[in-house]
Structure 1
Amino acid sequence: MTDLFDQPGAEQTAPRPLADRLRPRRLADVIGQEQVLGPEAPLGVMLASGSLSSLVFWGPPGVGKTTIARLLADETDLEFIQISAIFSGVADLKKVFEAAIQRRRAGQGTLLFVDEIHRFNKAQQDGFLPHMEDGTILLVGATTENPSFELNAALLSRAQVLVLERLGPEDLERLLQRAEAEIGQELELTDAARATLREMADGDGRALLNLVEQVAAWRVKAPLTPEELSTRLMRRAAKYDKSGEEHYNLISALHKSVRGSDPDAALYWFGRMLAGGEDPRFLARRITRMAVEDIGLADPQAQGICLEAWQIYERLGSPEGELALAQAVIYLALAPKSNAGYAAYKGAMALAKKTGSAMPPKHILNAPTGMMKDQGYGAGYAYDHDAEDAFSGQTYFPDGVARPDLYQPVERGFERDLKKRLDYFARLRAKRQGE
């Protein structure tokens, strides 16, 4: 029996994906990334001066890292070689370097594009260095992770890091129009649904083109609304690494929004983390820390509200318990702010380390034995309850340690009252010590 695909004319070529068909052929055709490609931007200046150096492109998926690297090779007459750190090992790198050496001897340079370069370990990264230094390769690495954490210092010292950004709404609209011109039809979408389609791409150009292909295949009779579009398409999941940089970026944004008394922004970042799959218990712990660090005694209730919200979450679980945490976030954002307690604690720790093993003054030490009493332990101690205003004004710091002003309450919230008490006791102390 003869296989169908062995027959003449039976082979069919699958249509090229829209993202491949729309791949730019010149750097000028790249959409977005003006901060890198513009005339006064790093790559624009390098190309104009003919001084292209090794590069690391840092940015999210679908923003043009591979495309720009390929076009750089075209515009500089370098041989473009692409490898992925996920699928390549030491043997593969050795072959790439040997081939590049042969090309250099023949007068041809090599642009080596390494996708996911952060996947190479430190030793493998070191393997690029001699070939970068002698001009065998011009390295262009691509990574979605922070190069400061993932690439070794030696490699970073020999390559310039360029940050590529998610495509904005205007960039995505330009790409959408190019896609419609390529497929020869306008998508049957209302203006609002068109905006929804762009939002679904989440700044990823390749994702947008994949969505366009799906929508174009539907052949609907009337423009779709956002609700109809959302029913037919799955929204692209937001990028969120619960153990990586994104985790720390978003909790920082939440913390600073609370500190900045912006409940709407705080709720947004809180929601972003939950939508990304963050453990609500982690958020409960960090929210409670915010109450201690940034609100403190300006509103003593804040810590209790956070602990109650945490307990409510433990009793109700998700998703009901998350509402209690959200309400705690709102309360913290609107609470009076003070880091006076936090600053006082840090100051006390610094002073404790500085003064070492200084003993407490003898008058506040107990004397349970006769020998200790003979040594002066407890001598001269004034029992505050027996003093006028129940305040003796004694010193409680070690001998030779000047009295510091560690706790300096602010004129906000409950700390206004605490400041009055602090000033009151300071006046009494000065009076007692002057008597």
Structure 2
Amino acid sequence: MTDLFSPSEPEAMAKSRPLADRLRPQRLADVVGQDHLTGADGALTRMIEAGSLGSMIFWGPPGTGKTTVARLLSGETGLVFEQISAIFSGVGDLKKVFEAARMRRMSGRQTLLFVDEIHRFNRAQQDSFLPVMEDGTIVLVGATTENPSFELNAALLSRARVLTFHSHTEASLSELLTRAEAVEARPLPLDAEARASLIRMADGDGRAILTLAEEVWRAARKGEVFDAAAVQEVVQRRAPIYDKSQDGHYNLISALHKSVRGSDPDAALYYLCRMLDAGESPLFLARRLVRMAVEDIGLADPQALAVCTAAKDAYDFLGSPEGELALAEACVYLATAPKSNAVYTAYKAAVRAAKEHGSLLPPKHILNAPTKLMKGEGYGDGYRYDHDQPDAFSGQDYFPEKMGRQTFYDPPERGFEREIRKRLDWWGKLRKERG
């Protein structure tokens, strides 16, 4: 196993460092749980072998090794490692970092700039990276827990490859515990059931499992071995009561979702409470309720999404257990709301159409013509401003001409979508009349 701290470092000083820091890998190949990136055939391994490293966005949950991998990349490619956090940095800090990188480049050294929480930068700040990425001043490695497609500029994404980091599995968390025991030169004082419970408590977070292990070692008296119940008391955290394969987790969330979709508030509330009692993350359940609102209720009740996001905010404000009542309210609201997957179906159809016809230009009459040249090319010709038309409706076509009109959204005669159906039918009638 790779030596985890310098031989010259005093042993007492080394042991005073957090376990997660002492276990930080020294080579890319030592990274646990991200074989699709750092394994023998991993994407990053291949980049290093090719001798070419481009800008990247690391997307994944906390504790999956994004910062560690960025450091290792700089070491294995000879780039100077520079790290900033979008939470604590502003425009002035970025200018200083860019200027230092330019000075290094003049002396023949390139900079790997690691930006933690990059999605926290606003659009203008994100744009400031573009020139230094394009001229090779920096290789940008941004880390985010949020979906880059929603949180990052398209211009930035077009210049960086998105690499996904996966949550740790039970196997990779178990390997981290084994490595921790080797570094500590002592086993964790846990029986088999307690060890499995500790792994589930970490919820896929490698940093969390090592922090929990430290808590266990601190709490154990000489010769003491904790069982599952005792370890929960020691670390003050509950483990979800699911089977080892996590099938129970997915079975229960599936049962909750289908109970909501089936308009059974009693069953839905039962599965929600069962998962909360098992120690499931309330914010995970809040996210699933939001998904149910947009997938199964949609515009049949436009308030469903607002109720779910408000429930999430209420939980953030109140905490547990008081905030759990807000999740229960949202759950019952969804189960008793009118159901429609029309928007969900329309979205999937539109995605397919976008991929098939993604190269077609919009019709010229709906494009702006800010220059004389564009006006001469016919941009904006024939456009009718809807607010100036009878009923505020012009009836023009907006799809690319080669594509023709398409119908993706087909609202049912249920809930609020009954009203939307009336509007669409009325506009369809006017469109035919006005051509």
TM-score of the pair, normalised by structure 2: 0.60
Other-structure match for 1:351: 425
| AA matched with 1:34 | D
Distance in 2 between the 1:120 and 1:291 partners? 31
Is the Cα–Cα contact under 8 Å of residues 32 and 176 in structure 2 kept in the other structure?
Answer: yes
Larger radius of gyration: 1
Contact 1:63 1:205 (C-alpha < 8 Å) held by counterparts: yes
What per-residue deviation string (whole Å, max 9, x for no partner) do you get for residues 274-303 of structure 1?
8239889x88x9599749969xxxxxxxxx
CA 331–223 in structure 1, closer or farther in 2 if over 3 Å, else same: farther
1:47-86 → structure 2 map (5 Å cutoff): 47-86=48-87
CA distance in 1, matches of 2:167, 2:136: 32
1:231 to 230, 233, 242: 233
Ranges in structure 2 where 5+ consecutive residues have no aligned partner: 1-11, 241-252, 302-321, 343-410
In the aligned structure 1, how far is the partner of 2:125 from the partner of 2:327?
Answer: 44
Tell me the equivalent position of 1:275.
282
Given the superposition, is the C-alpha separation of residues 357 and 49 from structure 1 closer, same or farther in structure 2, using an over 3 Å criterion? closer
Q: Please provide the CA RMSD for this pair.
A: 4.4
Residues 201 and 235 in structure 1, CA contact (< 8 A), matched pair in contact too: no
SS of the counterpart of 1:24?
A: coil
- CA pair 45-236 structure 1, distance change in 2 beyond 3 A: farther
User: 1: CA distance between counterparts of 2:294 and 2:274?
Assistant: 10
**Is the 1:81–1:112 contact (alpha carbons within 8 Å) kept by the matching residues of 2?**
yes
Residues paired across the two proteins, number: 310
| Partner SS, residue 220 of structure 2 | coil
Contact 1:258 1:266 in 2 (8 A): no
Q: Work out whether residues 54 and 160 of structure 2, in 8 Å CA contact, stay in contact via their aligned partners in 1.
A: yes
For 1:201, the equivalent position in structure 2 comes to 202
Give 1:159 shift. Answer: 0.5
Cα offset, 1:45, TM superposition: 2.5
Aligned CA distance change for structure 1 residues 216 and 321 (closer, same or farther; 3 Å)? closer
Aligned to 1:312: none
Deviation at 1:235, TM superposition (A): 2.1
The amino acid of 1:87's aligned partner reads: F
Asked if structure 1 preserves the Cα contact closer than 8 Å seen for 2:413 and 2:421, the reply is no
| Alpha-carbon separation, structure 1, partners of 2:25 and 2:176 | 11
Identity, in percent, stands at 49
1: CA distance, partners of 2:145 / 2:239:
16
Give me the whole-angstrom Cα distance separating, in 1, the residues matched to 2:269 and 2:209: 27
Amino acid at match of 2:88: F
Q: Is the 8 A contact 2:200 2:239 kept in 1?
A: no
2:26 counterpart of 1:25? yes
Letter in 2 for 1:156: L
Letter matched to residue 153 of structure 1: A
Aligned partners of 2:273 and 2:163: how far apart in 1? 26
Whole-angstrom CA distance in 1 between matches of 2:117 and 2:330: 37
In 1, are the aligned partners of 2:257 and 2:268 still within 8 Å (CA)? no
The answer to whether the aligner puts 1:222 opposite 2:229 as a matched pair is no
> How far 1:88 moved relative to its partner?
1.2
Residues 390-430 of structure 1 show CA distances to partners (whole Å, capped at 9, x for unaligned) of xxxxxxxxxx9xxxxxxxxxxxxxxxxxxxxxxxxxxxxxx
Paired residue type of 2:60: G
> Does the C-alpha gap of structure 1 residues 118 and 266 become closer, same or farther in structure 2, counting only changes over 3 Å?
farther
**Aligned-partner residue type, residue 219 of structure 1:** A
- Secondary structure, counterpart of 1:31 in structure 2: coil
CA distance in 2, matches of 1:100, 1:20: 27
1:255-284 CA-partner distances (Å, limit 9, x unpaired): 56744899789935994698239889x88x
Amino acid at match of 2:195: R
**Superposition pairs of residues 131-142 of structure 1, within 5 angstroms:** 131-142=132-143
Point out where structure 1 has 5 or more consecutive residues left out of the alignment: 1-11, 239-250, 295-316, 359-399, 401-435
* Cα deviation, residue 36, structure 1: 2.2
Once residues 129 and 321 of structure 1 are traced to their aligned partners in structure 2, the CA distance between those partners, rounded to angstroms, is 43
Whole-Å separation in 1 of the counterparts to 2:191 and 2:59: 35
Structure 1 contact 201–236 (Cα < 8 Å) conserved? no
Opposite residue 51 of structure 1, the aligned amino acid is S
Residue 356 of structure 1 aligns to which amino acid in structure 2? L
User: Is the 1:85–1:119 contact (alpha carbons within 8 Å) kept by the matching residues of 2?
Assistant: yes
Provide Cα deviations, 1:42-81, integer angstroms capped at 9, x if missing partner: 3232222222110011111111000000000011000001
Could you tell me how far 1:28 is from its partner in structure 2?
0.3
Q: Which amino acid in structure 2 is aligned with residue 276 of structure 1? A: L
**Once the 2 structures are TM-superposed, how far is the Cα of residue 216 of structure 1 from its aligned partner?**
1.1
TM alignment of 1:4-403, pairs within 5 A: 15-220=16-221, 221-235=223-237, 255=257, 258-259=260-261, 267=271, 271=275, 275-276=282-283, 286=293, 290=297, 341-342=413-414, 345=418, 348-356=422-430
Residues of 1 paired with 2:147 and 2:127: CA distance? 18
Query: Does the residue aligned with 2:219 lie in a helix, a strand or coil?
Result: coil
Distance 1:236 1:27 in 2: 33
TM-score normalised by L of structure 1:
0.60
Correspondence for 1:418: none
The whole-number CA distance in structure 2 between the counterparts of 1:124 and 1:237 is 40
Tell me: CA distance 1:331–1:351, structure 2 relative to 1, closer, same or farther (3 Å). Answer: closer
Relative distance call for 1:44 and 1:236 in structure 2 (3 A) is farther
Aligned to 2:310: none
Q: Cα gap change, 1:278/1:154 in structure 2, threshold over 3 Å: closer, same or farther?
A: same
Query: 1:375: which partner in 2?
Result: none
Distance in 1, matches of 2:220 and 2:173, equals 22
C-alpha contact 1:54 1:139 (8 A) present in aligned 2: yes
Residue aligned with 1:217, SS? helix
Contact 1:266 1:330 in 2 (8 A): no
**Which residue number corresponds to residue 364 of structure 1?**
none
Kindly indicate whether the alpha-carbon contact (under 8 Å) linking 2:113 and 2:140 is maintained by their aligned counterparts in 1.
Answer: yes
